[in-house]
Amino acid sequence: MGFLIEETVYCPYCGEALEVLIDPQEAGQQYTEDCQVCCKPILFNVGVDAMGNLSVSVQDENETY
């Protein structure tokens, strides 16, 4: 059981603001989800900063290879 955190991220392809729900238990994980606007796969990195706050970064899937 945990709270879902709502975060706003920006699509690396089209720049659209997207609201995503993050499960704190996913910290340290990566997952891919298609942009709701341009339908391209966005890689989400879920992490925790030094303050213990959940943070989400997104990147172009192609940059990982």
Site track 29-48 with Zn ion (rule: CB under 5 A), x = hit = ------x-xx----------
Q: Does 18 engage in binding with Zn ion (CB under 5 A)?
A: no
Are 34 and 40 a contacting pair, CB within 8 Å? Answer: yes
**Contact range with Zn ion by CB under 5 A, out of 4-12, 19-27, 46-54, 55-63:** 4-12
Part in contact with Zn ion (CB under 5 A); list of ranges 2-10, 12-20, 26-34, 51-59: 12-20
* Contact call for residues 10 and 44 (beta carbons, < 8 A): no
How many degrees, rounded to 5, is the angle at CA 7 between CA 9 and CA 64? 45
